[in-house]
A = this chain, B = another copy of it.
Amino acid sequence: MNKLSSDERLPLYQRLRDSLAQQIANNRWRPGEAIPTEAALSAEYCLSTGTVRKAIDLLVSDNILERQQGRGTFIRRAQFQSSLFRFFRFQTEAGERRVPESRILSVEPVVAPSSVAQALGLAAGAPVIRMVRLRLLDGQPVLAEEIWLPRARFQALLELDLDTQGPLLYPIYEDACGQVVACAQESLTAETVNDVYGRLLQIPVGSAVVVIERLALNYAGEPLEWRRSRGHASHFRYSVEIR
């Protein structure tokens, strides 16, 4: 006999959606846990199953819930899975996805070049951290990354032994610096590789590489990280649907 609190003019399925989203935000259920069954919800809120289903449909299409026939409806595990997979086909012959290893080549405190400062919304010459990283599959370099971070937020990284960490940076940002990446803007182009990156990627100078520039933001929309990645074009394929 629960009550729907939000605006009475909204349809019931919308109000139920809002109520459930609120409870999810308040951790009534943990990620991976099941919410009550559709029957239980329709009893709790005195709604028909059709209305409950429509509310759940919305949360599923929002990527907040996940249905599993015969088992239940679950809170989606928050998985900021690297967008790499959308761009590079780092896969075995069998087509299974793999996270490339990470080899950090340098981490140094520097002052921001003007282009980087502008991307990160800092004053020119502001203190930043510059990191160069190589991603490898089976020992073969596939991606070379240049990463820039505002030092004010990421000072702790300089005192950390990054080699002992996993291959993903964003969990480290979260654990060591309390900085949570919520979303990112990426921008894609191609170029022929120069000698520096040719050597890093172990490909001939003049090969075609794809260049990905990414600005990562926190939930408040503030820039956290700017990176430029280069990878051999033969590892690269990006697909879109157009309507």
Residue numbers of A with Cβ under 8 A of B are 50, 62-63, 80, 83, 86, 182-192, 206-210, 233-234, 236-243
Contact = CB atoms under 8 A, between A and B. Distances in A.
Contact of A190 (B86, B233, B243): B233
Consensus secondary structure, chain A interface: strand
Contacts of A206: 192, 206
A243 B83 CA distance: 9
Contact of A241 (B183, B190, B192, B234): B183
Contact of A208 (B188, B209, B237): B209
B186 A233 contact: no
Contacts of A189: 210, 233-234, 236-238
A209 B184 contact: no
A31 to B, nearest CB: 14
Contact of A210 (B190, B192, B243): B190
Given A191-B233, A192-B192, A239 B186 contact: yes
Given A206-B206, A209-B208, A239 B187 contact: yes
A205 to B, nearest CB: 10
Contacts of A62: 243
A182 B241 CA distance: 11
B243 A183 contact: yes
B187 A237 contact: yes
A177 B127 CA distance: 61
B185 A241 contact: yes
A57 to B, nearest CB: 10
A80 B151 CA distance: 45
Contacts of A192: 192, 206-208
Contacts of A190: 190, 208-210, 233, 236
